[in-house]
Structure 1
Amino acid sequence: MELRQRLIVGSLWIGVAALMAITVEPGVPSSVGGVARLFAVVMALFLAAVYVIDPWNVVSRVHVYN
């Protein structure tokens, strides 16, 4: 993936995290649903970081099949 494409996908994941963060109540989650929402926010931010930073060269790796 090119840098521009990675930045677009990363910004989409940040948008998903922002939308999910709206549903999370402030403070420590007291229910399973709250923990699941918080996990979804953290996972979306992690995926955004993977796409934008590409720390292990996973996203931009090109596979050539013959």
Structure 2
Amino acid sequence: MARIPARTPPPDGGSLCADCSGVGRVRVAEVRRRLFIFWRTVTYVDSCWTCNGTGRVPRWKARR
């Protein structure tokens, strides 16, 4: 039984995702606060929500 991959690029080839610039992953920065001390840490790499991790979006969904 063949498994269909969850992250498939759009059928028409599409265009490069503007949010992650075709990488498919984005860095999510988290700001932590403790006792009036702020520090910003890049904690995890998340898959891009615009292109669902494929790096490409359909032409109708592409910006500009």
* TM bucket, shorter chain: under 0.3
- Structure of larger gyration radius: 2
Higher helix share: 1
The structure in which a higher percent of residues are strand is 2
Provide the TM-score with structure 1 as the length reference. Answer: 0.25
Q: TM-score scaled by structure 2?
A: 0.26
